[in-house]
Structure formats: C-alpha cells, structure tokens
Amino acid sequence: MKIRFSLGLLLLGLGLWGLVAAVAGPAFLLPGFLGMIAPVVLGMITVELITRQYDRDPRKVTKLMIGSFGVKMVVYALYVVLVFQIPGLSAYPFIFSFTGFFILLHILEALYFRAKFQTNS
C-alpha cells in the first residue's frame, strides 16, 4: 500500500506531537497540538494542490506555488492571532511547536517537490 506524502505529513505531525507531549508533560498537549495542526493541514493541502497541478500542467506550478505561499502567510497570521485569544494558553509551547513544524514541513515539502520534479522531468 502506497502512503500519500500528505498523509505521511499528518502521521509525522501527530507522532512528533505525541512524542514531545509525552516528554514535556500535559502542559504541552493543547499548545503543542495547536502549534502543529495548522502547518500540517496547510502543508497537506499545498502538497495535494501542487501535485495535482503538476500532473495536469507543470507550466502552471510556479504560479500556484507563489499564490499558495501568499495565502498560507495570511492564514498563518490569522491563525496565530486567533490562537492567542484562547484564555490560559501557554504561549511558549505554542510558539516552539508552531515554529518547529512550520520549518520542518516546509523543508519536507521542498524535498518532496524536488524529488517529484526531478523524477518526472
């Protein structure tokens, strides 16, 4: 059975969140989850959209990547503002989780697309 890359991102995100929460303790559960879920979900959507576009018309991929990056930045900004409205939420675990997943998932997306674009060239 072939696992889609986007599903792998979700499984990786949940696994890392669970592992860190087990080590860091219950105070990390909610802020860690909230820091993980937005980058993972937006990463999954991005991978699916760009992969489908590449399979249909590779010439339009760059435009879609630029547009999706802009949309993600707006969504991330709104998401962070909303999360900080949650009463009693620990800011530092959220910030560390969000930043870590944001960086990790963008690196993984870049590696995935590089491999996909090279093998299909």
Kindly state the percentage of the chain with pLDDT values over 70.
Answer: 96
The two tokens of residue 112 are 């995935």
pLDDT for the residue 6: 87
pLDDT of residue 64: 96
pLDDT beyond 80 at 111: yes
φ/ψ bin of 25: left (φ > 0), alpha (ψ from -120 to 50), beta (otherwise): left
Tokens 């303790």 correspond to what residue? 25
Question: Domain count of the chain?
Answer: 1
CA distance to 28, 41, 85, 106, per residue, from 44 (Å): 23, 5, 25, 11
pLDDT at 33 exceeding the cut of 80: yes
Q: What is the mean pLDDT of the chain?
A: 92
Report the percentage of the chain scoring pLDDT > 90. 88
| Full domain range(s) for residue 11 | 5-119
